[in-house]
């Protein structure tokens, strides 16, 4: 299921295995409100008592594997324990990490990193001081020598952030730490240690490419125009106005479904559920200082370049800011065509 920032399920995004779940069943499942109670999602690290949030690039094959296996069980009328099934699948995933690195980078992948740490057990790596670093030899056997420095090309097991800072002499506010998981990678570093953090969101590249297309901008502008028309038409109570209002509401809903399908026919954009931000975006704007599709995006900037966040207008504030108007940052080619609607 896809959930917005206020814990509401977006209809049309729920599936059981590989089969879509009817909207009526979703509404009935959540008491007729589509709302998931806070206690089911209250886990700080994205995992509540009955719901697990998927939010990094590793989630894609994990979700596909979970969906395919569930679909197989349902298709063959096989009963299974959901909790044990989930644990079996997730426990198998770490086995492919080393093989994946060798396949993508080669046998010398360790030379690409100053420090290599395995089984760090994030996010407790950032908060638990008790686990020391241990070195692994070439056969993967654990060595028990005391670690006094972290050497390039060596592999270290477990450890903790406090020993890492002591051994590397790094200081939090002077570090920009990147990760692709908002909870396991970024949350504790920001909230507990004051590090600067950056999130890597690979899907961002495709989403930006879509929203910059003329077709998407045209549909988005017309949606905004329809919203204004609907607000104004509600003041008229005659039969003809009500008929027009119903037609425009239907058109708006159809247009929302079309723009959603531009990103994904099943789930739409990972950042938006129609007009509301997604639960993922809610976390994204809270933890990292900046986010981007790839680290290579920084190649466009000097090391002394200062990034200034753009202010986001609140609901009671003007929709456009002066810096956007003066620098032509906000390019809406169809605003002129819509001017007569105001």
DSSP calls for 100-134: HHHHHT-TTGGGG-S-EEES--TTGGGT---PPEE
Assigned domain for 180 exists: no
Contact present, 5 and 13 (Cβ < 8 Å): no
What is the Cα gyration radius of the chain? Answer: 25
Check whether residue 337 and residue 217 sit in a common domain.
yes
> From the CB of residue 94, how many other CB atoms can be counted at a distance below 10 Å?
11
User: Residue holding tokens 């900046």?
Assistant: 290
Cα 112 from chain centroid (whole Å):
27
Specify whether 234 is located in the same domain as 312: yes
What CA–CA distance (Å, rounded) separates 130 from 169?
19
Query: Does 233 score more than 80 pLDDT?
Result: yes
Tally of CA atoms within 13 A in the half-sphere of 333 that contains its CB: 8
99 SS3 class:
helix
Asked whether residue 83 falls in the same domain as residue 120, the answer is no
* 294 lies in some domain: no
* Angle at 88 (CA atoms; ends 85, 92), nearest 5 degrees: 145
Predicted model pTM? 0.75
pLDDT tens sequence across 42-73 = 666 666 777 888 877 778 888 888 999 999 99
Of residues 214, 210, 220, the one with CA closest to residue 264: 210
Average confidence score pLDDT of the chain: 84
Q: Are residues 254 and 212 in the same domain?
A: yes
Residues 138 and 166 in one domain: yes
What's the pLDDT tens digit per position in 253-298? Answer: 999 999 999 999 888 999 998 888 998 898 888 888 899 999 999 9
Of 73, 98, 123, the position where a domain reaches its end is 98
Residue 12 region by backbone torsions, left for phi larger than 0, else alpha for psi between -120 and 50, else beta: left
Are 209 and 328 within one domain?
Answer: yes
The pLDDT of residue 194 is above 70? yes
Peptide bond into 99 cis (omega under 30): no
Higher-pLDDT residue of 77 and 175 is 77
Q: Which residue is it, tokens 């009500």?
A: 242
State residue 108's pLDDT score: 82
Residue at token pair 């708006």? 252
Q: Is the pLDDT of residue 197 over 60?
A: yes
Task: Using DSSP, state whether 278 is helix, strand or coil.
Answer: strand
318 and 255 in a common domain: yes
Residue 46 has a pLDDT of 64
* 290, burial (CB in 10 Å: exposed 0-12, middle 13-18, buried 19+): middle
Question: At 20, phi and psi to the nearest 5?
Answer: -65, 145
**32 in the same domain as 77:** yes
H or E segment to which residue 256 belongs: helix 239-263
**Domain identity same for 62 and 34:** yes
Domain boundary, last residue among 98, 129, 161:
98
Say if 195 falls within a structural domain: no
How sure is the predictor about 74, in pLDDT bands with cuts at 50, 70 and 90?
A: very high
214 and 150 share one domain:
no
* pLDDT band, residue 325 (cuts 50/70/90): very low
Counting beta carbons within 10 angstroms of the beta carbon of residue 65, is it exposed (0 to 12), middle (13 to 18) or buried (19 or more)? middle
- Domain encompassing residue 135: 113-170
The whole-number pLDDT of residue 111 equals 85
For residues 23 and 49, membership in a common domain is answered with yes
Report yes or no on 92 lying in a domain: yes
Q: Is 93 in contact with 62 (CB distance < 8 Å)? A: yes
Beta strands in the chain (DSSP E): 15-16, 19-20, 116-118, 133-136, 155-158, 176-179, 196-200, 272-273, 276-277, 290-292
Q: Given this model, what pLDDT does residue 40 score?
A: 81
Query: Is 303 a member of any domain?
Result: no
Quick one: CA torsion of 335, 212, 267, 45, rounded to 10 degrees?
-110
Pick from 45-59, 113-127, 206-220, 322-336: least confident: 322-336
Residue 254 lies in a domain: yes
- What number is the average pLDDT over the span 135-140? 86
pLDDT band at 304 (very low <50, low <70, confident <90, very high): confident
Looking at residue 323, its pLDDT comes to: 47
First to last CA, the chain: 37
Residue-wise pLDDT for 144-189, tens only, equals: 889 999 999 899 999 999 999 899 888 777 788 898 888 888 888 8
Exposed (0-12), middle (13-18) or buried (19+): which is 292, by Cβ within 10 Å? middle
- Provide the domain count of the chain: 3
Total residue length of the chain:
342
Q: DSSP letters of 41-59?
A: S--TTSB-SS-B---STTH
- Kindly state whether residues 73 and 160 are assigned to the same domain: no
């Amino acid at each position: 299921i896809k959930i917005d920032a206020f814990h509401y399920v977006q209809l049309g995004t729920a599936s059981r295995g590989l089969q879509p779940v009817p909207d009526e069943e979703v509404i009935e499942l959540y008491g007729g409100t589509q709302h998931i109670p806070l206690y089911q999602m209250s886990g700080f690290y994205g995992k509540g008592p009955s719901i697990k949030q998927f939010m990094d690039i590793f989630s894609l094959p994990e979700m596909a594997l979970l969906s395919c296996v569930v679909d197989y069980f349902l298709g063959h009328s096989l009963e299974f324990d959901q909790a044990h099934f989930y644990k079996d699948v997730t426990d198998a995933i770490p086995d492919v990490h080393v093989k994946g690195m060798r396949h993508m980078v080669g046998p010398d992948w360790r030379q690409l990193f100053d420090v290599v740490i395995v089984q760090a057990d994030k996010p407790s790596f950032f908060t638990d001081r008790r686990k020391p670093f241990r070195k692994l030899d070439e056969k993967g056997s654990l060595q028990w020598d005391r670690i006094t420095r972290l050497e390039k090309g060596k592999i270290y097991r477990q450890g903790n952030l406090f020993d890492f800072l002591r051994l590397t002499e790094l200081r939090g506010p002077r570090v920009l730490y990147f990760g692709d998981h908002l909870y396991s990678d970024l949350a504790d570093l920001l909230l507990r240690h004051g590090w600067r953090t950056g999130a890597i969101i690979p899907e961002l590249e495709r989403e930006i490419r879509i929203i910059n297309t003329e077709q998407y901008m045209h549909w988005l502008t017309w949606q905004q125009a329809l919203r204004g028309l609907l607000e104004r038409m509600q003041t008229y109570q005659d039969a003809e106005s009500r008929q027009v209002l119903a037609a425009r509401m239907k058109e708006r809903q159809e247009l929302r479904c079309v723009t959603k399908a531009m990103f994904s026919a099943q789930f739409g954009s990972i950042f938006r559920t129609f007009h509301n931000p997604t639960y993922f975006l809610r976390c994204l704007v809270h933890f990292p200082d900046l986010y981007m599709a790839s680290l290579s995006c920084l190649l466009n900037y000097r090391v002394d370049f200062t990034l200034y966040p753009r202010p986001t207008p609140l609901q009671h504030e003007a929709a456009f800011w002066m810096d956007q108007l003066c620098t032509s940052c906000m390019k809406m080619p169809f605003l002129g065509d819509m001017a007569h609607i105001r």
